[in-house]
Structure 1
Amino acid sequence: MWKRFLTKFGIGGAKVDLMLHRSHVHLGETLEGEFWLEGGSVAQHVRALDVLLELEMQAEGKGYRQTAAVIPVASSFTIQPGERKKLPFAYKLPLHLPISRPTVRYTFVTRLDIANGADAYDEDAIEILPPLALEQTFAAFAALGFREKPASGRITRYGQEFSFFPTGEFHGIVQEVEFLALVETEGVRLHMEVDVCHRAGGEREMKRELFLPLESLRDLETAVRLIRDALEETVQAAGAIDSLEPHHWPLSSSPFYGHSGSHVPPVSRPHHGGSGWAGAIGGFAAGMLTGMIAEELLDDVIDDVADDVADGIDVDDWFDGGDGFDGGDWL
Structure 2
Amino acid sequence: MSFFNKVFASVGIGAAKVDTKLEKDTLTAGDLVRGVVEIQGGNVEQKVDEIYLSLHTTYIKESDDKKYTVSAMIDRFRVAESFTISPNERKELPFSFQLPLDTPISIGRTKIWVQTGLDIKNAVDPTDKDYIKVVPNALISAVFQAVEDMGFRMREADCQEASYRLRKRLPFIQEFEFIPTSGPFRGKLDELELVFQATSNDQMEVYMQVDRKARGLGGFLSESLGTDETNVRVSVSKSDIPNLRSKLQSVIERYS
Same fold, TM-score > 0.5, yes or no: yes
Distance in 2, matches of 1:92 and 1:42, equals: 35
Q: Which amino acid aligns with 1:227?
A: L
Classify the secondary structure of the residue corresponding to 1:149.
strand
Distance in 2, matches of 1:151 and 1:59, equals: 15
Distance in 2, matches of 1:136 and 1:191, equals: 15
| Counterpart position of 1:179 | 194
- The yes-or-no answer on 1:197 pairing with 2:199 is no
| Counterpart position of 1:138 | 144
Distance in 2, matches of 1:232 and 1:145, equals: 13
Distance in 1, matches of 2:207 and 2:72, equals: 27
Classify the secondary structure of the residue corresponding to 1:168.
coil
TM-score w.r.t. length of structure 2: 0.75
Per the TM alignment, residue 66 of structure 1 is displaced from its structure 2 partner at its CA by: 3.2
Instruction: Work out whether residues 11 and 122 of structure 2, in 8 Å CA contact, stay in contact via their aligned partners in 1.
Output: no
Task: Return closer, same or farther for 1:75/1:176 CA change in 2, 3 Å cut-off.
Answer: same
Distance in 1, matches of 2:30 and 2:54, equals: 18
Could you list the structure 1 runs, at least 4 aligned residues long, displaced by more than 6 angstroms after superposition. none
| Counterpart position of 1:234 | 255
Instruction: Work out whether residues 59 and 103 of structure 1, in 8 Å CA contact, stay in contact via their aligned partners in 2.
Output: no
Distance in 1, matches of 2:21 and 2:210, equals: 43
Distance in 2, matches of 1:232 and 1:115, equals: 60
Classify the secondary structure of the residue corresponding to 2:244.
helix
Can you list the C-alpha shifts for 1:252-276, whole angstroms capped at 9, x where unaligned?
Answer: xxxxxxxxxxxxxxxxxxxxxxxxx
The total of aligned residue pairs comes to 232
Unaligned runs of 5+ in 1: 236-331
Instruction: Work out whether residues 156 and 176 of structure 2, in 8 Å CA contact, stay in contact via their aligned partners in 1.
Output: no
CA RMSD of aligned residues (A): 3.0
Classify the secondary structure of the residue corresponding to 2:178.
strand
Instruction: Work out whether residues 34 and 95 of structure 2, in 8 Å CA contact, stay in contact via their aligned partners in 1.
Output: yes
Distance in 2, matches of 1:216 and 1:149, equals: 25
| Counterpart position of 1:163 | 177
Per the TM alignment, residue 33 of structure 1 is displaced from its structure 2 partner at its CA by: 0.8
Distance in 1, matches of 2:75 and 2:125, equals: 19
**Partner residue of 2:240 out of 212, 216, 219:** 216
Instruction: Work out whether residues 212 and 226 of structure 1, in 8 Å CA contact, stay in contact via their aligned partners in 2.
Output: no
**Partner residue of 1:31 out of 27, 30, 33:** 33
Classify the secondary structure of the residue corresponding to 2:72.
strand
Classify the secondary structure of the residue corresponding to 2:82.
strand
| Counterpart position of 1:64 | 70
Q: Which amino acid aligns with 2:47?
A: H
TM-score w.r.t. length of structure 1: 0.60
